Amino acid sequence: MKLFSKISLLGAVFALSTAFATAETLSIGSYGALNGDGAGSVGAYSNSALTYSGADTYNIGAGTKWAPAIGSSSWVSLNPHTGPSTPDASLVVLPNGTYEYTTTFDAVGGSYGLALSILADDTTSVLLNGTQIIPEASNNFGDNCAPDKPNCISVYNFDGWFDLNAGENTLTFVVHQTNGYNQGLDFEGSVSTVPEPSTLLLLGTGLVGSAGALMRRMRVVVSK
């Protein structure tokens, strides 16, 4: 009986190890193709740079009004002079409205876990392949940015599982500008095929049961 248990356990461990070994993980984050006021260096990611209407965007600084950029990402804007690091003389105040930023990444396809950490001024909604997955904050805006998340002073964290396209996938950030002045967007996250813990537990339990049943059948055949 101990032999059966060991074989079953080894089978489960092998299957779970294979699941982790074949996992695909992409590191995604905001960065622009050009540098603007107060820009810092950005890390390497699996996705393309954020664009605005297909045009290049600028890395900008957080100044003292915004929270620092998340991890190795960068605050990004369609204009090099819209951030709080911009000198007053060259500050560009964008008209109130919505501004769509997009970034793309490639995937094999199938079910993926998407984790995002987001900052935005005034706020932003997020769409994955055209479907909204994160709504913008309520329209109760303060002097700095939205008091509700996503906003520019406290990180909004999001986790979810989605079916991704085989090939290119698109994240769209619809940034809402309500009270004028500064505008920018920052995010960092990951896209991964690693199964959820509950899925792994079910897989392991099923494998142990299946292996045990098979060994019991083999023992009956041998005894006959």
Looking at every residue in the chain, the average pLDDT score rounds to: 83
Q: Do the bridges between strand 25-29 and strand 156-164 make them parallel or antiparallel, or are there none, so unpaired? A: unpaired
Q: pLDDT tens across 52-71, in order?
A: 999 999 999 999 999 999 99
Do you find a cis peptide bond into 80, omega within 30 degrees of 0? Answer: no
Give residue 194's pLDDT. Answer: 74
Share of the chain above pLDDT 70, in %: 75
Classify the C-alpha dihedral 20-49-86-116 as positive or negative.
negative
Whether the model pTM is above 0.75: yes
Q: Do the bridges between strand 34-35 and strand 58-60 make them parallel or antiparallel, or are there none, so unpaired? A: parallel
Q: Sketch out the chain's domains with CATH numbers.
A: 24-193 (2.60.120.260)
Q: How many CB atoms lie within 10 A of CB 86?
A: 21
**Higher-pLDDT residue of 224, 181:** 181
Residue 169 banded pLDDT, cuts 50, 70, 90: very high
Give residue 41's pLDDT. Answer: 81
Burial of residue 158 (number of CB atoms within 10 Å: 0-12, 13-18, 19+): middle
Residues 186-208, mean pLDDT to the nearest whole number: 67
